Amino acid sequence: MSDAADETPTPIDVPNDASLMEKIVNLSKRRGFVFPSAEIYGGFRSTYDYGPIGVQLLRNVKDAWWRAMVQMRDDVVGLDAAILSPPAIWEASGHLKNFTDPLVDCRNCHERFRQDQLEDPSTCPNCGAKDSFTEARQFNLMFKTHAGPVESDAAVAYLRPETAQGMFVNFANVLQSSRKKPPFGIAQIGKSFRNEITPGNFVFRTREFEQMELEFFVPPDEADRWYEYWVDARYQWYVDLGIPTEKLRIRPHDADELSHYSSGTSDVEFLFPWGWGELEGIANRGDYDLTQHATHSGEKLDYFDQANGTRYTPHVIEPAAGATRTMMAFLLAAYDEEEVRGETRTVLRLHPRLAPYKVAVLPLSKKDTLTPRAREVLAMLQPHVMCDYDETQAIGRRYRRQDELGTPYCVTVDFDSLEDDAVTVRERDSMAQDRVKVDELLGYLLPKLA
Ligand code: GAP
Q: Is 337 in the pocket of ligand 1 (CB under 6 A)?
A: no
Could you give the CA distance from residue 111 to residue 119 in angstroms, rounded to a whole number?
15
Q: Is 194 in the pocket of ligand 1 (CB under 6 A)?
A: yes
| Residue 260 pLDDT greater than 80, yes or no | no
| Residue 170 pLDDT greater than 60, yes or no | yes
Q: Is 136:102 a contact under the CB 8 Å cutoff?
A: yes
Distances (CA, A) of 128 to 110, 116, 233: 12, 18, 46
Could you give the CA distance from residue 77 to residue 187 in angstroms, rounded to a whole number?
6
Q: Is 160 in the pocket of ligand 1 (CB under 6 A)?
A: no
417 by DSSP, 3-state: which? helix
CA 211 to centroid of ligand 1, rounded, Å = 7
44 by DSSP, 3-state: which? coil
Q: Is 373 in the pocket of ligand 1 (CB under 6 A)?
A: no
**What would the mean pLDDT of 429-446 be, rounded to a whole number?**
98
Give the type of residue at 275: G
Q: Is 284 in the pocket of ligand 1 (CB under 6 A)?
A: no
Strand-pair category, 76-78 with 184-193: parallel
182 by DSSP, 3-state: which? coil
Distances (CA, A) of 392 to 83, 361, 402: 43, 12, 13
Distances (CA, A) of 414 to 368, 373, 409: 12, 9, 16
Regarding pTM above 0.85, the answer is yes
323 CA closest ligand 1 atom index: 16
| Residue 4 pLDDT greater than 50, yes or no | no
Q: Which pLDDT does position 450 carry in this prediction?
A: 85
Mean pLDDT of the chain: 95
164 CA closest ligand 1 atom index: 1
Residue 300 main-chain phi, psi, to 5 deg: -80, 120
Q: Is 325 in the pocket of ligand 1 (CB under 6 A)?
A: yes
Residue 156: pLDDT band (50, 70, 90) is very high
Q: Is 142 in the pocket of ligand 1 (CB under 6 A)?
A: no
Residue 1: pLDDT band (50, 70, 90) is very low
Q: Is 336 in the pocket of ligand 1 (CB under 6 A)?
A: no
199 CA closest ligand 1 atom index: 23
Q: Is 315:218 a contact under the CB 8 Å cutoff?
A: yes
17 by DSSP, 3-state: which? coil
Give the side-chain half-sphere CA count within 13 A for 86. Answer: 7
| Residue 233 pLDDT greater than 90, yes or no | yes
Please state at what angle helix 52-66 crosses helix 323-334, rounded to 10 degrees: 110
Ligand 1, atom 20: closest residue by C-alpha: 205
Q: Which pLDDT does position 264 carry in this prediction?
A: 93
CA 107 to centroid of ligand 1, rounded, Å = 31
Q: Is 403:345 a contact under the CB 8 Å cutoff?
A: yes
**pLDDT tens track for 60-82:** 999 999 999 999 999 999 999 99
| Residue 232 pLDDT greater than 80, yes or no | yes
**pLDDT tens track for 94-144:** 999 999 999 999 999 999 999 988 999 999 999 999 999 999 999 999 999
Residue 85: pLDDT band (50, 70, 90) is very high
Give the side-chain half-sphere CA count within 13 A for 225. Answer: 6
| Residue 318 pLDDT greater than 70, yes or no | yes
Q: Is 95 in the pocket of ligand 1 (CB under 6 A)?
A: no
Q: Which pLDDT does position 263 carry in this prediction?
A: 86
326 CA closest ligand 1 atom index: 16
Nearest to 183 by CA among 227, 233, 213, 238: 227
Tally of CB atoms within 10 A around 192: 21
Number of H helices, E strands in the chain: 13, 25
User: Which residue out of 278, 279, 288, 317 has the highest number of ligand 1 atoms within 8 Å of its CB and is therefore the one to mutate?
Assistant: 278
Could you give the CA distance from residue 231 to residue 268 in angstroms, rounded to a whole number?
8
Q: Is 163 in the pocket of ligand 1 (CB under 6 A)?
A: no
Q: Which pLDDT does position 193 carry in this prediction?
A: 98
DSSP letters spanning 341-399: TTEEEEEE---TTT-S-SEEEEESS--TTTHHHHHHHHHHHTTTS-EEE--SS-HHHHH
Q: Which pLDDT does position 102 carry in this prediction?
A: 92
Ligand 1, atom 22: closest residue by C-alpha: 205
Q: What percent of the chain has pLDDT over 70?
A: 99
Q: Is 53 in the pocket of ligand 1 (CB under 6 A)?
A: no
Q: What percent of the chain has pLDDT over 90?
A: 94
**What would the mean pLDDT of 323-329 be, rounded to a whole number?**
98
Q: Is 310:220 a contact under the CB 8 Å cutoff?
A: no
Ligand 1, atom 1: closest residue by C-alpha: 164
**pLDDT tens track for 390-428:** 999 999 999 999 999 999 999 999 999 999 999 999 999
Residue 6: pLDDT band (50, 70, 90) is low
211 CA closest ligand 1 atom index: 12
**What would the mean pLDDT of 322-338 be, rounded to a whole number?**
98
**What would the mean pLDDT of 162-182 be, rounded to a whole number?**
97
204 CA closest ligand 1 atom index: 25
